[in-house]
Structure 1
Amino acid sequence: MLIVSAQKAVGEILDPKMRQVFWKTLGLTILALIIIWNLVTAGLETFAVPFISEWFASFSLPDWTGTMGLFAAIFAGLGLAVGLAFLIGPVSAVIAGLFLDDVAEHVESQDYPNDKAGTAMPLGRSIIMSVKFFGIVILGNMFALMLLLVPGVNLIAFFAVNGYLLGREYFEFAAMRHHDVETVRMLRSRYSGTIIMGGLMIACFLAIPIVNLLTPLFGAALMVHLHKAIASKAQITQ
């Protein structure tokens, strides 16, 4: 059930409809990062660099003031670049969260044309879902950075935490299109192991730079297929 769902999801990532969602997500992500870069750069130039220069000047080291200001600007720029690289995954997850219904509708209409179409999330719930995905991806990326410090332990923690959180959130997204909250909770509880394993597959995408941009598309497609299989096995009307 899980392997078949994953194979279908991977096969659909490069589908023309999915590519449209990806390019929209990528374009808006780049725009958002440019805006963040300009805002943070303006803030650093206005406040941080002058503060450091004045701080060194207070030690009566005028010859060093300009040099340290230059070093401060360079290190601030490098730190900002690293920070933006860290934000690529989370920002794209927020933006992609607004288009997950497009992915779900495409998968359902293409692979389950005889089933009742799911109900798209209201805009407010879609925004809330995007924010939740943002928090999850931030957490996942923090663990990914920690892998550099303590190999092994944090690798396990990364996949354990993200397997649970990503599986839960993406499954709820797919299932809530068809069922009420109580039914979704029942399915999630009864098939928690399968859903967590699906989350681990999504976490694998999240852990790979560049590939992690595809995480929302793969996650949504995977859980649409997995929900269909689980609901069918549980003999619940969809």
Structure 2
Amino acid sequence: MIGLAASRALRDLFSPPFRAAFWKSLGLTALVLVGLWFAVEALFERVAAPWAAGWLPALPAWASDAERAAGWLAGLLLAIALAFLIGPVSAAIAGLFLDDVAEVVERECYPEAPPGRELPLAASLRLSAKFLGVIVLGNLLAFALLLVPVVNLVAFFAVNSYLLGREYFEFAAMRYRTEHDAKALRRRHRGTVLAGGAVVACFLAVPVVNLLTPLVAAALMVNLHQLVSRREGGLPAPPVERRIAAAGPRSD
């Protein structure tokens, strides 16, 4: 099941809709990071530099060189910080386009199934924030354990397999189910979801390729949700349709 879901996700990754979602998310990520660069640079020039100027003249003659070196060092640290933020920021922004990805997978691979429903804007924003938190946590964990061989690798894959599998599977399931039902389905198939999360974690571990992580994760988990639902007897009607059905036919 994992192999089938992964192969379908990789196949869809090169389709025009996926490329469009990738370039949109990457473009917005670049705009955010460039804006952040200028904002931090302005903060350094208007706050940090004037503050330092108050005590630098009291230093020896090399103070001006030290100030210049500090500026270069600040720029280097900022560049490293922005490189670290590429993955998390792209994950958060790509979260806004995941419904587009899910719709393509459902339409192309499962035409016989009822179409899912886009998440409300508030839920979509909340999921994007959660995706951001998941990626940040995984990267911080890897950084904290950088000097501990083997342990850092095991911890990185264990944590990210669980978190990525959980969040993206529940996203796919919530296109057809309530949040409570999506969580219950994920718990019933926790081993399968964890294995799917491990595949996603492999993408997260590769620089540059990790920019594709949100799209790969969404496509893989949409496929996995469809396959798991088939095993359980089929997909339910999306939540909106279930509420309409429960209300019964209207009487004039």
Q: Report the TM range for the smaller structure's normalisation.
A: over 0.9
CA contact (8 A) 2:134 2:160 kept: yes
Q: What secondary structure, in the 3-state scheme, does the structure 1 residue paired with 2:118 have?
A: coil
Q: Bigger CA drift: 139-148 or 10-19?
A: 139-148
Partner of 1:232: 230
Percent of aligned positions that are identical: 52
- SS for the counterpart of 1:151 is coil
1:86 to 62, 84, 87: 84
| Corresponding residue SS for 2:61 | helix
Residue 44 of structure 1 pairs with residue 44 of structure 2? yes
SS state of the match for residue 149, structure 1? coil
| Unpaired stretches in structure 2, ≥5 consecutive residues | 237-252
* 1:32 alignment partner AA: V
Residue type of the partner of 1:163?
Answer: S
1:235 Cα offset (Å)? 1.3
Shift of 1:182: 3.1
Q: Report what 1:209 is aligned to.
A: 207
**SS of residue in 2 equivalent to 1:237:** coil
Task: Give the secondary structure class of the aligned counterpart of 1:208.
Answer: coil
Query: What are the residue-to-residue correspondences of 1:10-25 with 2, within 5 Å?
Result: 10-25=10-25
- Over alpha carbons, which structure has the higher Rg? 2
- Could you tell me how far apart the structure 1 residues matched to 2:170 and 2:231 are? 17
CA distance in structure 2 between the partners assigned to 1:228 and 1:53 by the alignment:
62
Q: Which amino acid aligns with 1:202?
A: V
TM-score where L is the length of structure 1: 0.95
Q: Which amino acid is 2:17 matched to?
A: K
In 2, Cα distance between equivalents of 1:5 and 1:129 = 22
2:243 aligned partner:
none
| Residues 32-72 of structure 1: CA deviation (Å, up to 9, x unaligned) | 11000000011111222333343333xx3251221111011
- Which amino acid is the alignment partner of residue 10 of structure 1? L
Question: Does structure 1 retain, via aligned residues, the 8 Å contact 2:200–2:213?
Answer: yes
* 1:63 equivalenced with 2:55 (yes/no): no
Task: Give, in angstroms, the shift of residue 147 of structure 1.
Answer: 4.8
Q: How many residues align?
A: 236
Tell me the secondary structure at the aligned position of residue 63 of structure 1. Answer: coil
Within 5 Å, give how 1:49-128 maps onto structure 2: 49-57=49-57, 60-128=58-126
Partner of 1:163: 161
In structure 2, distance between residues paired with 1:220 and 1:4: 15
Match of 1:8 in 2: 8
Normalising by structure 2, we get a TM-score of: 0.90
Which whole-Å CA distance do the structure 2 matches of 1:219 and 1:105 have between them?
14
- Distance in 2 of aligned mates of 1:203 and 1:111: 24
AA paired with 1:125?
A
Q: Output the CA distance in 2 between the equivalents of 1:63 and 1:46.
A: 24
2:142–2:155 Cα contact (<8 Å) kept: no
Structure 1: tracts of 5 or more residues without a match? none
1:188 pairs with one of 186, 192, 197: 186
8 Å Cα contact 1:119-1:177 kept in structure 2 = yes
